[in-house]
Structure 1
Amino acid sequence: MLDLFYAGGWLMLPLLLSSVVALAIILERLWALRSSYAIPQALQRIRAAGTKKDAIKTAGAHEVHRLEKYLSPLGTIASITPLLGLLGTVVGMIDVFQQLDLAAGNAQQLAGGISLALMTTATGLSVAIPTLVMHRYFIRKVDDLVVILEAEAQKICDLNANA
């Protein structure tokens, strides 16, 4: 396995780092976006805003920002890792063709070089696909939580108006 990592070239390092960062964000967001954790914490801050509708809206906006934390970097990782993989393949192919030119062309060398060059593309896609799936999941989860928070904030406003 380690041989495949080294065979993929220097672009495997940013792909590895991207996968580690993506995994850390995914685990953190899975923990932080649990409804049993996110909703009570957000409602506590919204209730603390008091009775003024503008203060409640501001507190709600801050909570939405907190819920969306790290989603942008996760989306960026999902977007760039296939590109890093493709770049690794292009760099590998250039290297293969340069070696073939120097070695007067050997079909087995070409096939082996292409195989190694494609390793970065496979790695990039292997990182990007689950990262993109989780990014979309978290966006939907945040949207669902925001709908709940808006409904609860409206209840708070209605209670304050009736009091």
Structure 2
Amino acid sequence: MLSIIQAAGWPIWPLILCSIVALALVIERFMSLRSTRVAPPKLLDEVISFTRSSLPAPDVVNKLANNSVLGMVLASGLRALIAEPRISEQALRAVFESAGRAAVHKLERYLNTLGTIATAAPLLGLLGTVVGMIEIFGSQSPTSGSNPEQLAHGISVALYNTAFGLIVAIPSLMFYRYFRGLVHDFTIELEQAAERMVPHLMRFVIAREKQQQQG
């Protein structure tokens, strides 16, 4: 491996740095975009069942917010209702939308960096190719002829950097598209969960209004 790096020359070092960063981002996103950390399958049903008769205490809401990204969104609606018992449906939807935007931003964390690496790696490989070609042409002398050693080094720089740039770019692009698809699916789940929670929470507002009218 060290001999390949030496043969590829200095242009390969930015590609090595990109490969390390890309690998770290892929591992981090795999850990962060798990269903258990974003949208546990039974969490919404458990929250609806738990809040069927009464609203939870603030410490329970805090635990829900720390449970997952979906829990954070659901907790935002519960907190809004607890803080404003007469909240309108439009205002409650606005709270969920704001929490949803924050959640999506959290899910998309580092994806732009990964996409940038996927785009920049072939260009860095092309830079190495150009550097290698410059060395190849530099080895040609009209007086002393060609320098075989410098010619071979220029070819190595050109080919190794081109190959390594593609090796970095192709997996980075594949993982970027994969994670984008996951974020899209999770976004739909969060939207559907919020749509189910709005009428569920509005029952408490309607019940309070009826009690006040009867009182």
**Range into which the TM-score falls when normalised by the shorter chain:** over 0.9
How far the C-alpha of 1:19 sits from its partner, in A, is: 0.3
User: Could you list the runs of 5+ residues in structure 2 that have no partner in the other structure?
Assistant: 41-67, 82-91, 205-215
| Pairing 1:67-106 to 2, within 5 Å after superposition | 67-101=107-141, 103-105=144-146
1:56 maps to which of 87, 96, 99: 96
| Pairing 1:17-32 to 2, within 5 Å after superposition | 17-32=17-32
TM-score by length of 1: 0.92
Paired with 2:114 and 2:169, the residues of 1 have a C-alpha distance of 10
How far the C-alpha of 1:106 sits from its partner, in A, is: 5.6
Paired with 2:148 and 2:8, the residues of 1 have a C-alpha distance of 20
User: Could you list the runs of 5+ residues in structure 1 that have no partner in the other structure?
Assistant: none
Matched, 1:45 2:85: no
Paired with 1:21 and 1:57, the residues of 2 have a C-alpha distance of 32
Tell me, what secondary structure is at the counterpart of 1:10? coil
| Pairing 1:100-139 to 2, within 5 Å after superposition | 100-101=140-141, 103-105=144-146, 110=151, 113-139=154-180
Aligned residue in 1 for 2:194:
153
Deviations 1:90-149 (A, max 9, x none): 011101110122641267864563243211010000000000000000000100111111
Aligned partners of 1:6 and 1:12 also within 8 Å: no
Larger RCO: 1 or 2 (CA < 8 Å, sep 6+): 1
> 1 or 2, which has the higher helix percentage?
1
TM-score by length of 2: 0.71
Paired with 1:111 and 1:14, the residues of 2 have a C-alpha distance of 22
**Identity %, equivalent residues:** 46
Paired with 1:141 and 1:35, the residues of 2 have a C-alpha distance of 10
Aligned residue in 2 for 1:3:
3
Deviations 1:22-76 (A, max 9, x none): 0000000001000111114122211221242111110111000000000000000
Number of residue pairs aligned between Structure 1 and Structure 2: 163
